[in-house]
């Protein structure tokens, strides 16, 4: 874990909860699937995906549930990418995000997920 990632962890107000179900993270501007949600809190989340995500980007994202498991609407967030780490073989990338914009309704849904 990098020093930067450790400092972000220390600043978190809420602990992140691991997600067992498949929730895809999609860039709403491009429609690109960035990866899948690994963990989430009321403040932020981490995703795992095949492509690196540049740090310090502001993205409009959709957290989409597997339609075979849930008919829930996507959770829509504006988020800032804080860090990105690659696997040793560069096939997977983990990225941390801070949520900067979310509706009250979607925020309640995240609270339910992290319950």
For residue 57, give the nearest of 104, 10, 15, 96 by alpha carbon.
Answer: 96
Residue 14 has a pLDDT of 62
15 or 110, higher pLDDT? 110
Residue 106 pLDDT greater than 90, yes or no: yes
Domain boundaries, given as residue ranges, for the chain: 3-114
Give 48-87 pLDDT, tens digit per residue: 999 999 999 999 999 999 888 788 899 999 999 999 999 9
Count CA atoms closer than 13 A to 90's CA, side-chain side: 0
Phi, psi of 91 (to 5 degrees): -90, -20
Q: Classify 3-114 by CATH class.
A: mainly beta
Question: What does the radius of gyration of the chain's CA atoms come to, in whole angstroms?
Answer: 13
């Amino acid at each position: 874990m990098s020093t930067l990632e450790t400092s972000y962890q220390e600043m978190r107000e809420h602990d992140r909860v691991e997600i067992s179900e498949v929730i895809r993270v999609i860039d709403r501007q491009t429609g690109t699937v960035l990866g899948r949600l690994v963990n989430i809190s009321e403040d932020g989340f981490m995703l795992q995906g095949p492509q690196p995500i540049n740090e310090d980007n502001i993205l409009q994202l959709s957290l989409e549930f597997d339609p075979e498991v849930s008919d829930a609407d996507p959770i829509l967030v504006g988020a800032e990418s804080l860090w990105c780490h690659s696997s040793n073989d560069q096939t997977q990338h983990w990225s941390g995000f801070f949520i900067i914009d979310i509706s009250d309704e979607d925020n309640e849904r995240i609270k339910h997920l992290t319950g």
